Amino acid sequence: MLIKNAQIVTRDEAFTGTVRIEDGRIADIAPGNTAARDAADWDGDYLLPGLVELHTDNIEKHLAPRPGVLWDHEAAIIVHDAQVASAGITTVFDALGVGSRPEDGVRGRELQVKCAQAIGRFVDEGLLRADHFLHLRCEVGTTDVVDIFDSLSAHPLFRLASVMDHTPGQRQWQDHEKWRKYQERHGKWTDEHANAVLAQLAEHQARFAAAHRAQIVARCNELKIALASHDDTLVEHVDEAARDGIVLAEFPTTLEAARAAREHGIATIMGAPNVVRGGSHSGNVSALELAREGLLDILSSDYVPSSLLIAVFALVEKAGWSLPRAVATVSWTPAHAAGLHDRGAIALGLRGDFVRVALRDGLAVPRETYRAGRRVC
Structural domain containing residue 127: 49-344
Question: What is residue 107's predicted lDDT score, i.e. its pLDDT?
Answer: 64
pLDDT at 3 over 80: yes
Task: Tell me the pLDDT tens digit for each residue of 226-274.
Answer: 999 999 999 999 999 999 999 999 999 999 999 999 999 999 999 999 9
Burial 15-54 (b: 16+ CB within 10 A, else e): eebbbbbeeebbbebeeeebeeeebeebeebbbbbbbbbb
Task: With beta carbons less than 8 A apart as the criterion, state whether 148 and 137 touch.
Answer: no
Q: What CA–CA distance (Å, rounded) separates 193 from 21?
A: 59
pLDDT at 181 over 90: no
Question: In this structure, is residue 37 part of a structural domain?
Answer: no
pLDDT at 104 over 70: no
> In which band, very low, low, confident or very high, does the pLDDT at 34 lie, cut at 50, 70 and 90?
confident
- Domain total for the chain? 1
Question: What is residue 166's predicted lDDT score, i.e. its pLDDT?
Answer: 65
Task: Tell me the pLDDT tens digit for each residue of 146-156.
Answer: 999 999 999 99
Question: What is residue 165's predicted lDDT score, i.e. its pLDDT?
Answer: 85
Question: What is residue 153's predicted lDDT score, i.e. its pLDDT?
Answer: 96
pLDDT at 102 over 60: no
Q: What CA–CA distance (Å, rounded) separates 340 from 237?
A: 27
pLDDT at 324 over 60: yes
Question: What is residue 175's predicted lDDT score, i.e. its pLDDT?
Answer: 63
Task: Tell me the pLDDT tens digit for each residue of 262-293.
Answer: 999 999 999 999 999 987 766 789 999 999 99
Q: Which residue has the higher pLDDT, 106 or 13?
A: 13
Question: In this structure, is residue 339 part of a structural domain?
Answer: yes
Question: What is residue 204's predicted lDDT score, i.e. its pLDDT?
Answer: 73
291: CB partners within 8 A, 6+ apart: 275, 315, 319, 321
For 113-119, what is the mean pLDDT? 95
Question: What is residue 58's predicted lDDT score, i.e. its pLDDT?
Answer: 94
pLDDT above 90 covers what percent of the chain?
A: 75
Q: Which residue has the higher pLDDT, 184 or 168?
A: 168
Of 33-37, 74-78, 198-202, where does mean pLDDT reach its minimum? Answer: 198-202
Question: What is residue 89's predicted lDDT score, i.e. its pLDDT?
Answer: 98
CATH number at residue 89: 3.20.20.140
pLDDT at 193 over 90: no
Question: What is residue 141's predicted lDDT score, i.e. its pLDDT?
Answer: 86
Give the CA count within 13 Å in the CB-facing half-sphere of 120: 16
Question: In this structure, is residue 335 part of a structural domain?
Answer: yes
Question: In this structure, is residue 44 part of a structural domain?
Answer: no
Question: In this structure, is residue 60 part of a structural domain?
Answer: yes
pLDDT at 114 over 80: yes
| Residue 108 CA: distances (Å) to CA of 83, 139, 231, 274, 337 | 23, 12, 21, 27, 29
Residues paired with 358 in a beta bridge: 365
Sheet with 248-250: list strands edge to edge.
51-56, 89-98, 131-139, 158-164, 226-230, 248-250, 267-271, 298-300
Question: In this structure, is residue 358 part of a structural domain?
Answer: no
Question: What is residue 194's predicted lDDT score, i.e. its pLDDT?
Answer: 66
Whole-number mean pLDDT of the chain?
91
pLDDT at 183 over 70: no
Of 13-27, 135-149, 192-206, 320-334, where does mean pLDDT reach its minimum? Answer: 192-206
Question: In this structure, is residue 27 part of a structural domain?
Answer: no
Task: Tell me the pLDDT tens digit for each residue of 340-364.
Answer: 999 999 999 999 999 999 999 989 9
Question: In this structure, is residue 350 part of a structural domain?
Answer: no
Task: Tell me the pLDDT tens digit for each residue of 51-82.
Answer: 999 999 899 899 988 877 889 999 999 999 99
For 198-223, what is the mean pLDDT? 86
Question: What is residue 315's predicted lDDT score, i.e. its pLDDT?
Answer: 97
13-27, 32-46, 172-186 — which one is most confidently predicted on average?
A: 13-27
212: CB partners within 8 A, 6+ apart: 138, 140, 141, 142, 145, 146
